[in-house]
Amino acid sequence: MDYKLELVIVPVSDIDRAKAFYLDKMGFQLDVDHSAGEDFRIVQLTPTGSACSITLMRNQMEPGTLRGLHLVVEDLEAAHKELVARGVEAGEPFHFGPAGQTAGLHPERESYGSFLQITDPDGNVWLVQEVTNRTPRG
């Protein structure tokens, strides 16, 4: 049995502001923008190349409470440059070493080893992780 994650709810306070952020700054694709009355609106977007989408919703959870979703890229440096060029306030790359979280890319650019953090306008926190080889470790 395959279990495929296809949709994650992202709690936001202002759907139009969040939609603009994910479309214009993150480069996601718009799948659905549907309203059913004044108090119910769903905006679904998908990151380029992803099989999983997000849905922006109000009143589902407290805006800004989502933490730790990972966007996976093959080149973290290129992703960082692209995000910054789009106006995203992307943190600097980091990795985990013997002393814990350490500034900079993983020294060997190990797959799953380098990250950067971004925060959307509501305070939802995402990690962008470099994955170059999907062979299981260990």
Q: Is residue 136 part of a domain?
A: no
Q: Is residue 24 part of a domain?
A: yes
Q: Is residue 86 part of a domain?
A: yes
What share of residues in the chain are helix, strand, coil (percent, to 5)?
15, 35, 50
Tell me which of 34-38, 94-98, 128-132 is least confident: 34-38
Side-chain half-sphere of 127: how many Cα atoms within 13 Å?
Answer: 14
Cα dist from 5 to 54, 65, 72, 129, whole Å: 11, 20, 14, 18
pTM of the entire predicted model? 0.83
Quote the CA–CA distance of 78 and 81 in Å, as a whole number.
5
pLDDT on residue 103: 95
Alpha helices in the chain (DSSP H): 15-20, 76-85
Percentage of the chain modeled with pLDDT above 90: 72
Q: Is residue 2 part of a domain?
A: no
CATH number at residue 87: 3.10.180.10
What is the torsion angle, in degrees rounded to the nearest 10, for the CA atoms of residue 123, residue 52, residue 45 and residue 13?
-30
Q: Is residue 84 part of a domain?
A: yes
Instruction: Evaluate whether 30 touches 18 at the Cβ level (below 8 Å).
Output: no
The predicted-structure confidence for 53-93, as pLDDT tens digits, reads as follows: 999 988 767 888 989 889 999 999 999 999 999 999 999 99
Q: Is residue 94 part of a domain?
A: yes
Q: How many domains does the chain have?
A: 1
> What DSSP element (H or E) covers 67?
strand 67-73
The residues, ordered by sequence, that sit 6+ positions from 2 with a Cβ below 8 Å of its Cβ are none
92: which DSSP letter? P
Q: Is residue 138 part of a domain?
A: no
Please give the mean pLDDT across all residues of the chain: 91
Task: Give residue 65's domain range.
Answer: 7-130
The predicted-structure confidence for 30-60, as pLDDT tens digits, reads as follows: 999 998 887 788 899 999 999 999 999 887 6
Q: What letter represents residue 73's amino acid? A: V
Percentage of the chain modeled with pLDDT above 70: 94
Q: Is residue 1 part of a domain?
A: no
